[in-house]
């Protein structure tokens, strides 16, 4: 089975909680909606095509255009019309997972998901509707050997597609990356009906899964931090004290994260919070005061002197 997609490109995320983050966008082909009425007067009768798209098809643009990126823009309806209307299917790509991975990595700055400076490149699956037909193939994509350093995946979805059992289990228990669902439910101004477009149960499924993904990511982060701590501390007593303080701080941050998870759901006004910030210390500046002294302590006398200085 091959993945059908319209385009892949490297850019920065322009919306949501990861604004400004370097990302690779993979635009899959196919959608369960047409969203023809965006930008049109309310009450416009819904036909088979958006009026602008109808004119393009009538003019044969889908037959004379050679590349997807050369298609003209439209200013009403769905702006990614060529990823949803079957008339444009000959402009899309059908590739094996090996070919998709080669394509994606070829457009990253360093040919990998985690760059030499530590910055990771996010993978954004968009569309069309990326969760419509390709869930089974995504597992094969994410498990590809060259995708092992991928740390963040976002699904830009209209929030109508239930996750298949196998894919839900994979994201919840086996995935190595943090999963984000960027939800864009379509209101009546799109031309889609409320009953078709608004699926609270689906939104809840995404929310719970993203919650679990965040917990797994947080546990891996805590273990990594504790491993780093153990490398820099020699004195046994100081090691126990310092590690205990750090662990307590992580626990407080974890509790803070749990409280803030609820705010990641949609709000009535359509706004969303940025990523939560982990509090590093109850007493600002105290840990900064300690850190210059944490290395080079090898004797009890040095430790006692440190206590006096503080």
- Do 169 and 281 belong together in one domain? no
| Domains held by the chain: number | 2
**Closest to 237 in 3D by CA, of 305, 168, 300, 167:** 300
Q: Domain for residue 251, yes or no?
A: yes
Residue 68 is part of a domain; what is its CATH number?
3.20.20
- Do 152 and 265 belong together in one domain? no
- Do 125 and 172 belong together in one domain? yes
How many angstroms separate the CA atoms of 247 and 222, rounded?
8
Beta bridge partners of 93: 5
Q: Domain for residue 26, yes or no?
A: yes
* Residue 193: domain span: 3-198
Q: Domain for residue 287, yes or no?
A: yes
One digit per residue, the tens of pLDDT, for the chain of length 310 reads: 899 999 999 999 998 889 999 999 999 999 999 999 999 998 888 889 999 999 999 999 999 999 999 999 999 999 999 999 999 999 999 999 999 999 999 999 999 999 999 999 999 999 999 999 999 999 999 999 999 999 999 999 999 999 999 999 999 888 889 999 999 999 989 999 999 999 999 998 998 887 766 555 555 556 666 666 666 555 444 455 555 555 555 555 555 544 444 444 334 334 333 333 333 333 333 334 444 444 454 455 665 665 565 4
Q: Domain for residue 218, yes or no?
A: no
Global pTM value? 0.71
- Do 159 and 24 belong together in one domain? yes
Q: Domain for residue 221, yes or no?
A: no
- Do 111 and 37 belong together in one domain? yes
How many angstroms separate the CA atoms of 212 and 171, rounded?
9
Q: Domain for residue 217, yes or no?
A: no
153 close to 123: Cβ distance less than 8 angstroms: yes
- Do 185 and 262 belong together in one domain? no
- Do 240 and 176 belong together in one domain? no
Q: In what order do the strands lie in the sheet with 178-183?
A: 93-95, 3-12, 22-28, 122-126, 152-157, 178-183
């Amino acid at each position: 089975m091959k993945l059908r997609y319209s385009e892949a490109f490297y850019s920065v995320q322009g919306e949501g909680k990861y604004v400004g983050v370097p990302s690779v966008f993979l635009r899959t082909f196919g959608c369960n909606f047409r969203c023809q009425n965006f930008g049109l007067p309310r009450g416009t009768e819904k036909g088979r095509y958006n009026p602008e798209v109808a004119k393009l098809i009538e003019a044969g643009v889908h037959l004379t255009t050679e590349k997807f990126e050369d298609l003209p823009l439209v200013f009403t309806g769905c702006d990614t019309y060529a990823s949803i209307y079957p008339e444009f299917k000959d402009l899309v790509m059908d590739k094996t997972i090996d070919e998709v991975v080669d394509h994606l990595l070829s457009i990253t700055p360093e040919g990998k998901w985690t760059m030499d400076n530590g910055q990771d490149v996010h993978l954004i699956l968009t569309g069309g509707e990326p969760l419509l037909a390709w869930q089974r193939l995504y597992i094969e994509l994410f498990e590809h050997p060259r995708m092992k350093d991928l740390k963040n995946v976002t699904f830009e979805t209209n929030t109508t597609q239930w996750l298949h059992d196998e894919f839900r289990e994979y994201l919840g228990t086996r995935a190595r990356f943090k999963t984000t669902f960027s939800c864009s439910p379509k209101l009546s101004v799109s031309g889609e009906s409320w009953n078709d477009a608004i699926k609270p149960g689906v939104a809840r499924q995404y929310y719970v899964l993203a919650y679990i993904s965040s917990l797994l990511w947080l546990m891996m982060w805590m273990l990594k931090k504790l491993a780093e701590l153990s490398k820099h501390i020699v004195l046994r007593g100081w090691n126990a004290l310092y590690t205990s303080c750090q662990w307590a701080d992580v626990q407080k941050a974890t509790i803070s994260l749990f409280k803030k998870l609820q705010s990641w759901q949609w709000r009535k006004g359509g706004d969303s919070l940025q990523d939560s910030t982990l509090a590093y210390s109850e007493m600002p500046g105290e840990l900064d005061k300690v850190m210059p002294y944490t290395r080079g302590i090898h004797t009890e006398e040095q430790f006692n002197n440190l206590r006096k200085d503080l």
